[in-house]
Structure formats: structure tokens, C-alpha cells
Amino acid sequence: MVPYVTSWSDEKKLPAEIIMRTSMGISFGIAFADETAADRDRDGILWTRKPDHHRQGRPEFGNIHSRRQRRAMRLLLCQVCAQPADSDEDGVLWLLPDYYAEAQDWPENYDLAEPPICRSCVPVATRLCPALRRGHLGIRARSAPVCGVRGLVYGPSRPAPVLVGDYEVRYDNPTIRWTVADQLLRTLQDCTAVDLDQYRPAQHGHDPQTSEDQHIAAIRHRHHPPSPRP
């Protein structure tokens, strides 16, 4: 089972020459030298060029295909099977790495690039996604507006713009005009925690993956002992 948003080895990013956009001698962003209307979305955001050769070659887990990620994110499709993500009165279902679980108010207003999930794909997503294998949470969000992109940010320079780094950039940040987008972001709002165990099928026999997950959970537990009672 290979998630819908996973890139395949025949889907190598296409090279594109980056140039500065100027108006009356003042640079205000970047463009592709041979840019066409297909390179920007309806918001005028420049998107990375990646061919669509879905399921050709080998899957590259951890490498996300920008066009399929964008489609799944826009339409709220499951990142694994591309069917509509699970939704109930508490909102759409999302799987999050638990890195920031102790931060105050998290995941309220958390920006994320991973599209949502359907119930039946929860087990496979937590097994295949490297970020989720280390620990994850289920969240339902009643609202999750599209808020920006993740991509390569460039800075003004002569003779050509210079690469600054890979960042998450919100639409209201002027840096968005200096970004080649790779993934679409949504921000989670009005969140409710979900008990994911209810979506896992009952286990029979010894599944090595389950044993490994239990092992990791045990280690995590050891490193985070419960606070002593007064």
C-alpha cells in the first residue's frame, strides 16, 4: 500500500530557471524564465514543476508529490487512498506527529502540510509515514482554512535570485512572492482530540509492526513518567 501523496522515482522534479520579476526597476518576486499560466495557481502562487507519473518506478516514502498533495489538501481527500477524508460533527480527521503535544493550546492554529485521513487508512498511515511512526495524535478540526504553502524561498540577488531555504510561508507574508511552492498548508482550528484506537482493527497473532509500536510506546513512556501525585 503506497499513499496517494507519495512520490515515485519517475516523478523527478523538473529543473526551471528562476528569474526576478521587476516593475520599473524594483524587484517584487520571482518567476520561471519560461513560465506559463500552468505554473501558478488561482492565487498567483508559483508551483514547483513535477511530472505526474503516478505508480511508475519505485515509491519514495517521505517524498511528497506536490500536485497530488495539493489536490488532496484542497479537496480534503485522504492522503493514503484519495477518497474523501473522514468527517463528523467534530470536523475532519487529521493525523499529527506528537512533537509539540505539550505546547500550550496545540494544535489550535497549527499549520500543516499533511492532508487529512479516512478512518480505514489510519493504521497504514501511522505505519508508513516516518514522522508519524515516532508518535502521533488524532485530531478533528471543525475549520481548517488554506493558509499558505511550504516551499523553496529565494532572495533578491544579481544576476539571479539566490536560494534562502525551505520554509512554510503564509499568504499574508510578502515572502510568498519569493517562494516556489511545493505543498499546500491548512491551519487547524476548533480542534478536538480523537481516540485512534477505535479505528484500529483487532489484532490477531503477532504482527511485528505492532510489537515494534508497543516497544516504542514503552520507551516513550519510560522517558516521560507520569507526574507524582501530591
Q: What are the residues binding Zn ion (CB under 5 A)?
A: 78, 80-81, 118, 121
- Answer positive or negative: Cα dihedral of 29, 145, 185, 72: negative
Nearer to Zn ion, 30 or 118 (CB): 118
Using DSSP's 3-state secondary structure scheme, residue 60 falls into strand
Q: Which three cell numbers stand for residue 64?
A: 511528497
Q: Which three cell numbers stand for residue 222?
A: 519510560
CA distance 13 to 108: 33
Q: Half-sphere exposure (CA, 13 Å, Cβ side) for 77?
A: 16
Q: How far is the CB of 131 from Zn ion (least distance, A)?
A: 18
Q: How far is the CB of 78 from Zn ion (least distance, A)?
A: 3
CB 149 within 8 A of CB 161: no
* Strand-pair partners of 87: 92
Q: How far is the CB of 164 from Zn ion (least distance, A)?
A: 36
Q: How far is the CB of 128 from Zn ion (least distance, A)?
A: 12
Nearer to Zn ion, 81 or 92 (CB): 81
Nearer to Zn ion, 117 or 176 (CB): 117
Nearer to Zn ion, 114 or 179 (CB): 114
